[in-house]
Structure 1
Amino acid sequence: MEKYMTKSVGLLDKAEATANSMRRDELLFSYKGILYPTTVCSPETFKALESFEVRRNDVILAGYPKSGTNWLSQILTDLIAISQKKTPGSESSVNAEEEEEPYLEIGDAEKYERMTKLPSPRLMVTHLRPENLPKSIFQNKAKMLLLIRNPKDVATSYYHFSNGLALLPSYETWDDFFTDFMTKKMAWGCYLEYLSEWNKYADKENIMTITYEEVKENPALSVKNIATFFGIPLTEEQLQLVVERSSFQSMKKNSDKTHGSFGNIFFRKGGVSDWKNLFNEDQSKRMDKAFEEHIAGTKLGKKLKYDLYCKA
């Protein structure tokens, strides 16, 4: 993942430098009713993305910010290396010339032209809702891993993340952040609406849904299931290597190489139920009610095991 992230870190460095000279109200812009960070996204890029041609054998990871997309990107990067008969983490596992910012919606509008020259399978990551992705993803039935996480931990992690990165609006208090989180003022939009939109696609055979919590609970089984879904055979030794390299301890230790000065921001705790350190009783009930209205009872709602992870 080291070389794979070089472009992302460079882009983040530039975005942070630009954001430092911007007013808080300039950090986000609205596109089709959803907010995005001004320094890494643009209307031109979104427009160009619409006609991007996704290949059937591309590997796609979709997840809302702070759902664990960094973590699962590590797993998928290693699995792709194995599928190409390379050793995960070795210098030869990624070609530096073949780098491109993996987040589909981040970067310049010309990136999609450059991506046409990349060999298959290409790893693509996105925080976008399905209706804002290129239609070719669904037309060509590219396989996609949909990663979801309990909303209280997503909010908690997003709060710390927003206060760590200059390119996102920061918050003086958790209460202020929670108000914005619940009133759709987040970059990439409202998480519960995100879940509700993706739920419409949950039964498609080319989409596999996995939760942050289940990967945390049983990493080996999760990696095995993901590899099976993407048709990548694994030996026991390869499985253990992927599990070890994607552990929170290993990724945090390696974060200087993969994420530069942003390592501590991206790898903070990597746990479950940190929400209990921030939510008060009223906020907890408010989230419970919103979850009930938006997503409880749906396929994704049931998969999240809300009562297990979000009830004190």
Structure 2
Amino acid sequence: MSRNRERVIETVDNSVLQSEKIPPESMLFSYRGISFPVTLTSPETLEALKSFETRSDDVILTGYPKTGTNWLGTILTELDSADAKYTEEEVEERINAEKKLEIFPRLEFGDPGVFERMKKLPSRRIIQTHLPPHLLPPSMFQNKAKILLLLRNPKDTAVSYYHFYNNMPQLPSFASWDEYFAAFMQGKLTWGSYFDHSVEWNKYIDHEKIMMISYEELKEDQVLGMKKIAAFFGFSLCEEDFSRIAKKTTFQAMKEKSMETHGKLGHALFRKGVVGNWRDFFSKAQNEEMDKKFEDCLGGTKLAAKVNYDVYCKA
């Protein structure tokens, strides 16, 4: 499913083993006001990231956690492979290179030396991250690499992240939805605030090297979404390619193979993949609180229009 599948599984499984030895109060660390899991990254890694050099042909995917980046990351890999027309030998070479160099599934994961090792990867590199712009390396905005930003409505994102938190041994769990909701609204989760993340990315919405696409529009018409993405990155695919990839990367197809592609935590990474599940969790007061928060932070912005909040988040 993914060129880096074995490395993803190894990273996840090792992280699970490490987390079993760590008490809940020690699972996270803070870096520049944002918390991160100690089993996946470190302050030293995030500092070393500042000097990472992107390439102009890097394919970069970013999005707040639980907006659908695992799904879209697989789609991107398939689009890239179809465009590049890699032979089986070339795919195997790339997999072996990523394993040998110990490359991680997210840019911010791993040890501080990972960025030096990434220099040895062949182009095109597919790079994924959950980081907000101010924590990304300056080269990402200077070297003309193209960035695809995935958006998802905040209510479904919140519900998905809630289940993720309580199913991931690397993260401290919440006793109740209400307790979690308060933390989400205050931005007291790993990778920080959904709202801060969105406000910061909104400043880049007109950047010629950045494309924004929503989870909801991909769900509504995956082929059309893939065609937009392919055009943005300059990929050349035929209709048969898009049809084949769409069938291969439906949420259900990926969920069924999640243990194979993402190891022990496949079930946590691919839960429901639906739009509107928030209605089963939000109280009337919570609905009103989030509606006000979204309006205060993002009302009238182009990013808000892209998320289509009134359609997907109004009860």
1:93 corresponding residue in structure 2: 91
Helix, strand or coil for the counterpart of 1:265? helix
1:46 corresponding residue in structure 2: 46
Helix, strand or coil for the counterpart of 2:4? helix
1:310 aligns with 2:309: no
1:102 corresponding residue in structure 2: 105
Q: Is the 2:13–2:263 Cα contact (8 Å) retained in structure 1?
A: no
After superposition, the C-alpha distances for 1:243-292 in whole angstroms (9 at most, x for unaligned) are 11110111112212211221211111010010011110111111111101
1:201 aligns with 2:201: no
2:227 corresponding residue in structure 1: 224
CA positional deviation for 1:92 = 5.2
CA positional deviation for 1:3 = 4.5
- 1:243-258 alignment, distance < 5 Å: 243-258=246-261
Q: Is the 1:2–1:257 Cα contact (8 Å) retained in structure 2?
A: no
Q: How has the CA–CA distance of structure 1 residues 19 and 110 changed in structure 2, closer, same or farther, with 3 Å as cutoff?
A: same
Helix, strand or coil for the counterpart of 1:36? strand
1:183 corresponding residue in structure 2: 186
CA positional deviation for 1:80 = 1.3
* Aligned counterparts of 1:289 and 1:9: Cα–Cα separation in 2: 40
* Aligned counterparts of 1:120 and 1:233: Cα–Cα separation in 2: 17
2:284 corresponding residue in structure 1: 281
2:30 corresponding residue in structure 1: 30
TM normalised by structure 2 equals 0.96
Q: Is the 2:12–2:263 Cα contact (8 Å) retained in structure 1?
A: no
CA positional deviation for 1:5 = 2.2
Helix, strand or coil for the counterpart of 2:265? helix
Q: Is the 1:102–1:123 Cα contact (8 Å) retained in structure 2?
A: no
Equivalent pairs, count: 310
Helix, strand or coil for the counterpart of 1:166? coil
* Aligned counterparts of 1:96 and 1:236: Cα–Cα separation in 2: 27
1:71 corresponding residue in structure 2: 71
| Aligned amino acid, residue 27 of structure 2 | L
1:264 aligns with 2:263: no
TM normalised by structure 1 equals 0.96
Helix, strand or coil for the counterpart of 1:187? coil
After superposition, the C-alpha distances for 1:205-230 in whole angstroms (9 at most, x for unaligned) are 00000000000000000001100100
* Alignment RMSD: 1.3
* Aligned counterparts of 1:169 and 1:92: Cα–Cα separation in 2: 40
| Aligned amino acid, residue 91 of structure 2 | S
| Aligned amino acid, residue 280 of structure 2 | N
Helix, strand or coil for the counterpart of 2:205? coil
2:59 corresponding residue in structure 1: 59
CA positional deviation for 1:4 = 1.1
Could you tell me which of 235, 238, 243 is aligned with 1:235? 238
* Aligned counterparts of 2:251 and 2:46: Cα–Cα separation in 1: 32
Helix, strand or coil for the counterpart of 1:56? coil
CA positional deviation for 1:86 = 2.8
Q: Is the 1:79–1:232 Cα contact (8 Å) retained in structure 2?
A: yes
Deviates more, 1:261-270 or 1:90-99: 90-99
| Aligned amino acid, residue 289 of structure 2 | R
Helix, strand or coil for the counterpart of 1:178? helix
Deviates more, 1:8-17 or 1:283-292: 8-17
| Structure 2 unaligned residues grouped into runs of 5+ | none
Deviates more, 1:48-57 or 1:74-83: 74-83
1:7 corresponding residue in structure 2: 7
1:214 aligns with 2:211: no
* Aligned counterparts of 2:145 and 2:235: Cα–Cα separation in 1: 15
* Aligned counterparts of 1:36 and 1:208: Cα–Cα separation in 2: 26
1:21 corresponding residue in structure 2: 21
CA positional deviation for 1:204 = 0.2
